[in-house]
Structure 1
């Protein structure tokens, strides 16, 4: 060929002189170069300049060697056509009717060359777009019926390739509201319109395709006209497809009623086309969202995903108006979350979440919904992998960290779970747990609650700095959220932490949360009372502390005594003022109701336990007088009451009590014994008598409290007195059905002096009854494998009476617990 470019005649002569096989090889190579199937190599020579070889030279050489070669003829024809078309495009455009001829000629050249399908169809489509009638005339002149069939087949192949390129461009979109790829539809529409010209037998099918492309490109009016025309025809093929397309045309035109009718017909059809059904479900879902019915809309999209996920993604990205896709995404996310919180259709939500991730991979909420659905489906490992991947993209995402923490705790990786929770705490976003808790299972929530509660307690035991208290508060907040918003123990501790940090109103908020559920909660009442005390809110503080004292004074009084002296003084002064005011009003109105007097008595008792000042004892005496305990007191006793601590006051009150006891007037006697105990500063002698009186009244709890005080003051009492006090307390415990505690008291008495104790036991309850109790308690300890305790009780029981059952138990203890060290 290089030789031909230098001297055509010499080169032709040389080649024609070759053997037939070699000549055919040369012409075949030239044909390949002309058709563009092989690239023409470059030639360099030391004796010649660089020769630029082209398809034109190849065609000329081939034509000289083989004048009848079709390939060379077409190749030579293509070049002038292309040049002519370039001139047209420079002056005007290819839509000009003058371009139709050259376009058809070049298309014919491409067609004859073979392997130039894209170029052939492109030129034909442009020619028909420029002037359909003129193009058709040229086409029929240039192509046979057989050629037309081949061209139609090629055009359909090109059409599918172009539409596939459009779908791929849609699939690859990263921007949810973007319309990238729509520009590719112009060429697709042109190809469909060309096919409509040369394939009249496929007119309905191609018209449906044209309507679809117009709709996708945003030419709503053109698409709607085609749909209306085809649906009005007698032929009913592509019925569902056309209804679905018309539905979206109406939706774009804001005619929701017509759109819903069309979508409904597709969905209710006996044998709906899957892709049409997906479009109808997506369209109906969109209309339902605009009508506020988000739940049913979500069900539509879940159904569409279950039919065909890829087609649903394509439908949303291409048919749904761009300015409605953002709202659609958020609605589906929120409704999916709600459905998971109600433990509904986790597999369906997983498919929906997969769709949402495809629509916008950058939206974290969709990924979290996907992970939550996997968790509910029991696919914990898959959920963990998904969350780990999300964390690698956004390491500071507290919702991801919180979920991962819970999964790590569930898997038993306590340290890893706690490290993740610490990260969330450092970010200060404890509320990120709120939307998760209804999704996770009860046992996993309980696991989170227990862990966070334990961590808070551990921190508070070892550290007391402000930073440590804040960390403990964060853990307690996690525990409260995990418990569903209410966890009494955690709220109490957190309120105390807020109090320490000086956040008093926040502490009150936590106490209020407890009292809303349990209005008589003693710790919350007293805690809130102390906060009101710090805020100098006297009325509120007194009200809370009185309510707490009424509920359980035994808990509140030690709490008050643990406060600083200044705070104690303020509380007692406020309580005294309140009590005096109440008492004055009662006396003035003579409305001495039993409940009010009981409250006053409770306040008075609390005051003398908190502080021993005479003013509180005087108030107590005044309350007792108002309560009617002094109606039978003799004149000398009235004098005694008038002074806080008279010399003969306790004796007089006790003697009166003794007289009333002999007459079985126990209630009245109790008042005098109380006065005696009060004015003698809880002398054991009067406490014993009051305990005896309370026993007759079957008020065993109060009697036991008196005996506990007596035993606490045993320092200078005789041995006999001490033994009898333990026995008396033992009898009370038996009466109160506290058998184990009773046995301990009798053992104490026996250890002090066996003979005195046995004498006391004979007076009550008796040896036989008591040894039965000893056997019962010992048997219980034996069953609980507390062998040493069982042995001790059995041993002392046998000192009271040689009970047969106790002997048998002792034998069993020797045999069963032979490995234990028993003394």
Structure 2
């Protein structure tokens, strides 16, 4: 390298810096200002536009938005073909919560950008800012439209995240708009009639519609759980019981249904715990007492039943791959007392 910009070298930290080394570390001289008189008309316009934009950016960083706007508008007067100035003006309006003005300025910028073949990233930026303005105004459907347009110009993680967020908002709005407790009651009664007739699959459809209409009613989940139990869809029924209990931890039917499902899944200890929860709420509840009694009896099974149940458990099957465990299994088969152990 030339002597003007030497490569700095490591020095002993205990040695005081010399004047020569201080000179080497000095900042290189700033480039000379371009000579405006030597520029053509086009270059002169862009030069002054950039100076105004830089001044506007400095004011924007200080949150002096009115001053920033003056400089950005001045930049536009020098060079009306640059989308960046429109984007910057829109950014100020956004900060000032003037969202309608922000949208209009972005639309102007997009028009100018299209006419002058601006970088697609700048077009995407303007479209995304329109989307953010609509989101601030809680018009999520319009926000979604513009985030999708921005994505078609230039995909970025930020725009993708914004799109996902407004889609979630739209979905939640639609869910809330659909809620109607009166219609939920109508659907529940239809489900009850079908349940009595033994048409469990169609009863599930009506209970599901009732839940959509009134998602905070624990009885609806309990009813659907009863249908799932009849259809042997134990996992779905158990999930509904959990939802039911989360909505109302004093709703005894939720614990009883949970106990019955767990019994059907041959999980007697967990079923017993569910019945005990029900008995905490009502110690005299006949269904809970009977369920708990049945779970207690199931613990007193014969050795053959114990072995049969164990062999059907995937975890036990994995354990029995061990040769030592096979020896124990053989002992269980030849000696009933070993099975009890």
Q: TM-score, normalised by structure 1?
A: 0.17
Which structure has the higher relative contact order (CA within 8 Å, separation 6+)? 2
User: Which structure is larger by alpha-carbon Rg, 1 or 2?
Assistant: 1
